Structure 1
């Protein structure tokens, strides 16, 4: 899986390597075709506000936006032939400043909030939504399950003697 990250904020406290590892983990756990490509953009509040107004018609910044590519959902799952061309799933746009504020309210780190938001955005690209109460329960349960599995895998890898911050496990297993 190819995960492209563009950090347009210049913030060095966003761990892009770990974020890419998480994205690969989520895509693998969701059985997305290994040739799939994902783009993650990290933007400042002003840019996120502009996107939020332009594409959602809502004022102010938001934490995450997902822009799926046409037909990506249907052709991205692993049961596709291995020789299928790479599929661009779409773009996930994250705003660290909003994530930082939400992390304080939620009582966890900004890094975990960014992981939660990235997972949330990827699930949107895969067709999950939370407009209805039942959809919300399913999406948020899956989101939390994926994050807990990711964190357990990273902790296991770190306990195995990996030096430095782990980039994440190679697969979801």
Structure 2
């Protein structure tokens, strides 16, 4: 696989970011071959890191829900026609919510960020946890596999 073209944006209103763009890209390149269809040779993916205030605005504008959330995915990927290069979509992550959830769940910010990122990527490729218990279990299993690959072990995230 050609490495995906990956553009990552840190919004200027998000301070004290603990993220390393190069490491995020490397970890995505590690897990994407196990998620993407074989025909997809290269891809583009936008990741937007925002504050809770910005996430609330995006959630309201795009989903008509007037509150923040942890991660949103806006898929553009299509299986047919099977194009070898695609913009697969956009993932928006609230860094404020990420940090809060890390404390609530009891793991660190990096673990929570990757849990949200993997969750968002899976949604871009059609994984869904809201349609049925079976789909939820399939998505959770794939999430765990991806996180184990990123962290080199099953971290229970």
Runs of 5+ unmatched residues, structure 1 = 154-173
Confirm or deny that 1:63 pairs with 2:70. Answer: yes
1:123 aligns with 2:126: no
Match of 2:104 in 1: 105
Distance 2:62 2:71 in 1: 12
Between Structure 1 and Structure 2, whose CA radius of gyration is higher?
1
CA shift for structure 1 position 103: 0.5
Distance across 2 between alignment mates of 1:7 and 1:54: 20
Q: Could you say which structure has the greater relative contact order, defined with CA pairs below 8 angstroms and 6 or more residues apart? A: 1
Unaligned runs of 5+ in 2: none
CA contact (8 A) 1:115 1:147 kept: yes
Q: Does 1:137 align with 2:140?
A: no
Q: CA deviation at 1:10?
A: 4.5
- Give 1:130 deviation, angstroms: 0.8
Runs of at least 4 residues off by over 4 Å:
none
Question: TM-score scaled to structure 2, two decimals?
Answer: 0.83
SS in 2 for 1:87: strand
Query: Higher strand fraction: Structure 1 or Structure 2?
Result: 2
Match of 2:89 in 1: 90
**Alpha-carbon distance in 2 for matches of 1:75, 1:110:** 37
Query: Which of these residues, 5, 8, 22, is aligned with residue 5 of structure 1?
Result: 8
CA distance in 1, matches of 2:108, 2:78: 31
- Using the alignment, how far apart are the partners of 2:110 and 2:15 within structure 1? 16
Residues in 2 aligned to 1:105 and 1:142: alpha-carbon distance in whole angstroms: 23
Aligned length: 145
Distance in structure 1 (CA, Å) of the matches to 2:50 and 2:123: 19
Q: Find the counterpart in structure 2 of residue 162 from structure 1.
A: none
The RMSD of aligned alpha carbons is 1.9
Which string of whole-angstrom CA distances, capped at 9 and with x for unpartnered residues, describes residues 35-87 of structure 1?
A: 11111111111110111122223231101000111xx23159xxx67xx4x31
Matches within 5 A, 1:1-80: 1-8=4-11, 9-32=14-37, 33-69=40-76, 72-74=77-79
